[in-house]
């Protein structure tokens, strides 16, 4: 579909003109888009709030239209003003990050509040986050937890995870490991990688839930597959020591390397130890010391401890091999 679009007010026409009859701007250009997108544009121009929000998302993401944050905001605003909760959240995020509009945290909070008043889960979660850190509103941990709870009960995965962290750390609520485990589990089942790691850790340690190393390993594996470095490291340890899973030194090495490549200090320390003893890799004292020093510099206490015993262990290994 070929037509003429005003870049200032998003008015569209089919006649070949250069000045927009709606706003008077001389910013009319030739535009082309699919029949599907054009049908959505027509609905949006007639005041359909859902179509306005959808068209805004297309401009924001560059989906079937040239990416243009300012025009995305234009359509988000049109939809939000009609009370579309999803558009209110999206426009709020634009204000939060200063995308297509000047950054304005107070405006973002107002839009989150409008969406939350309609029980929109993401609006509740984002408003809760603002209260937790005092962004655009006075800091109020209890209010933040209330909003997380409301969003979590409506299935918002990030809110479920965040509520778990509140119960774990005693932020806005009394510390309760069982409740932390409950919400981490809910978020983990929804695919939240950090929640999968934390729930796995609780299962491994038997905190807030019955100890279950096999289940812990499975949750670590799911989190590790999504790139969580802590889960990759913990799974590597379990594979090395046959805890909750069969011993597999090569797989242990692979997971530790994945975590180390993301800069996780303890994983680098473990790789250094692997190279020192030749576990799953050729013995290499030089590479071992390099990895241990990097890990120690990044804050690994285990690496610092191993380096303090380096000479003694090195001599012991040399004597054992002779």
**Please, are residues 99 and 69 in contact by the beta-carbon 8 Å criterion?**
yes
Give pLDDT, residue 23.
67
Beta strands in the chain (DSSP E): 2-6, 12-13, 28-32
Give pLDDT, residue 282.
87
Q: Which residues pair with 40 in a beta bridge?
A: none
Backbone φ, ψ for residue 133 (5° rounding) = -110, -5
Residue 4: CB atoms within 10 A of its CB come to 17
Q: Which of 71, 152, 143 is nearest to 113 (CA)?
A: 143
DSSP 10-25: --EESS--SS-TTT--
Terminal Cα-to-Cα distance of the chain (whole angstroms)? 81
**Please, are residues 88 and 96 in contact by the beta-carbon 8 Å criterion?**
no
Backbone φ, ψ for residue 76 (5° rounding) = -60, -45
Is 43 within a domain?
Answer: no
Residue 14, pLDDT above cutoff 80: no
Is 242 within a domain?
Answer: yes
Is 170 within a domain?
Answer: no
Contacts of 291 (CB under 8 A, 6+ apart): 260, 268, 269, 271, 272, 275
Q: From CA 260, how far away is CA 225, in angstroms rounded?
A: 15
> pLDDT per residue over 179-233, tens digit each?
999 999 999 999 999 999 999 999 999 999 999 999 999 999 999 999 999 999 9
Give pLDDT, residue 16.
57
Most confident of 7-21, 28-42, 248-262: 248-262
- Give the predicted TM-score (pTM) of the model: 0.87
Q: Parallel, antiparallel, or unpaired for β 28-32 and 2-6? A: antiparallel
**How many domains does the chain fold into?**
1
Is 77 within a domain?
Answer: no
Q: From CA 155, how far away is CA 260, in angstroms rounded?
A: 34
Tell me, what CATH number does 261's domain have? 1.25.40.10
Is 74 within a domain?
Answer: no
What is the CA 117 to chain-centroid distance, rounded? 25
Report the percentage of the chain scoring pLDDT > 70: 89
Mean pLDDT, range 35-55, rounded to an integer? 93
Band of the pLDDT at 38, cuts 50, 70, 90? confident
Taking each helix axis from N to C end, the angle separating 310-321 and 301-308, rounded to the nearest 10 degrees, works out to 60
Please give the residue that has the higher pLDDT: either 321 or 280.
280
Q: From CA 305, how far away is CA 281, in angstroms rounded?
A: 22
> pLDDT per residue over 72-84, tens digit each?
999 999 999 999 9
Q: Which of 194, 122, 197, 109 is nearest to 152 (CA)?
A: 122
Band of the pLDDT at 56, cuts 50, 70, 90? very high
Domain limits for position 259: 195-304
What is the CA 316 to chain-centroid distance, rounded? 46
Lowest mean pLDDT among 135-139, 232-236, 285-289: 285-289
Is 215 within a domain?
Answer: yes
Most confident of 4-8, 28-32, 87-91: 87-91
Contacts of 94 (CB under 8 A, 6+ apart): 69, 72, 73, 76, 100, 101
Is 235 within a domain?
Answer: yes
Q: From CA 236, how far away is CA 241, in angstroms rounded?
A: 9
DSSP 322: -
Give pLDDT, residue 287.
92
**Please, are residues 90 and 53 in contact by the beta-carbon 8 Å criterion?**
yes
């Amino acid at each position: 579909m070929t037509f003429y679009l005003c870049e200032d007010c998003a008015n569209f026409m089919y006649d070949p003109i250069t000045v927009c009859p709606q706003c008077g701007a001389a910013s009319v250009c030739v535009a082309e888009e699919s029949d599907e997108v054009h049908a959505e544009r027509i609905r949006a121009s007639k005041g359909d709030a859902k179509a306005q929000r959808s068209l805004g998302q297309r401009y924001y993401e560059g989906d079937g239209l040239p990416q243009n944050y300012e025009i995305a905001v234009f359509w988000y605003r049109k939809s939000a003003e009609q009370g579309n909760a999803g558009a209110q959240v999206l426009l709020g995020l634009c204000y939060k990050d200063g995308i297509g509009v000047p950054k304005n945290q107070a405006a973002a909070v107002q839009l989150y509040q409008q969406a939350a008043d309609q029980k929109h889960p993401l609006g509740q979660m984002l408003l809760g986050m603002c209260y937790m850190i005092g962004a655009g509103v006075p800091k109020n941990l209890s209010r933040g937890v209330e909003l997380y709870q409301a969003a979590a009960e409506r299935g918002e995965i990030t809110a479920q995870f965040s509520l778990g962290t509140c119960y774990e750390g005693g932020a806005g609520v009394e510390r309760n490991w069982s409740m932390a485990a409950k919400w981490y589990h809910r978020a983990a089942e929804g695919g939240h990688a950090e929640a999968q790691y934390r729930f796995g850790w609780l299962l491994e340690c038997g905190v807030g839930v019955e100890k279950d190393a096999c289940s812990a390993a499975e949750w670590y594996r799911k989190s590790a597959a999504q790139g969580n470095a802590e889960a990759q490291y913990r799974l590597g340890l379990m594979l090395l020591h046959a805890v909750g899973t069969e011993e597999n030194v090569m797989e242990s090495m692979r997971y530790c390397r994945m975590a180390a490549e993301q800069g996780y200090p303890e994983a680098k320390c473990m790789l250094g130890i692997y190279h020192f003893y030749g576990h799953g890799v050729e013995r290499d004292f030089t590479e071992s010391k390099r990895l241990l020093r990097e890990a120690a510099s990044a804050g690994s206490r285990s690496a610092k401890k191993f380096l303090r015993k380096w000479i003694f262990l090195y001599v012991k290994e040399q004597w054992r091999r002779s």
